[in-house]
């Protein structure tokens, strides 16, 4: 499923093909979502997040797609698990 062909991950970043990419993003599996976002360049991550926000807000998307987009945004809004273990000395 490729919700927006304009949002394509960089092939040289080791990111899956667009259909696999969106399947991971919308998988409802926080680990898959986090791993994929961690591999994106900052500007790519911003574009994907903007698209997910549109999916949440626009009524043209199916309820399940909107729910999964919302869940993906919640995952990327949280700090990665490794960052939670770091402390400022």
Model confidence pLDDT, tens digit, residues 41-80: 999 999 999 999 999 999 999 999 999 999 999 999 885 5
Instruction: Give the number of C-alpha atoms closer than 13 A to the C-alpha of residue 75, restricted to the C-beta side.
Output: 24
Provide the token pair at 38. 């961690």
Whether the predicted model's global pTM rises above the 0.75 cut: no
Measured CA to CA, the distance from residue 10 to residue 39 in angstroms comes to 10
- Residue 87 pLDDT level (bands cut at 50, 70, 90): very low
Q: Tell me the domain boundaries of the chain.
A: 14-78
Residue 12 burial (10 A CB sphere; 0-12, 13-18, 19+): exposed
Is a pLDDT exceeding 70 seen at residue 15? Answer: no
């Amino acid at each position: 499923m490729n919700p927006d062909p304009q949002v394509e991950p960089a092939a040289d970043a080791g990111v899956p093909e667009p259909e696999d990419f969106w399947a991971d993003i919308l998988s409802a599996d926080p680990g898959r979502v986090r791993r994929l976002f961690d591999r994106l360049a900052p500007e790519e991550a911003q574009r994907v997040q903007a698209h997910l926000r549109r999916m949440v807000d626009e009524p043209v998307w199916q309820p399940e797609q909107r729910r999964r987009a919302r869940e993906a945004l919640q995952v990327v809004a949280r700090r990665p698990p490794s960052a939670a273990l770091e402390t400022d000395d």
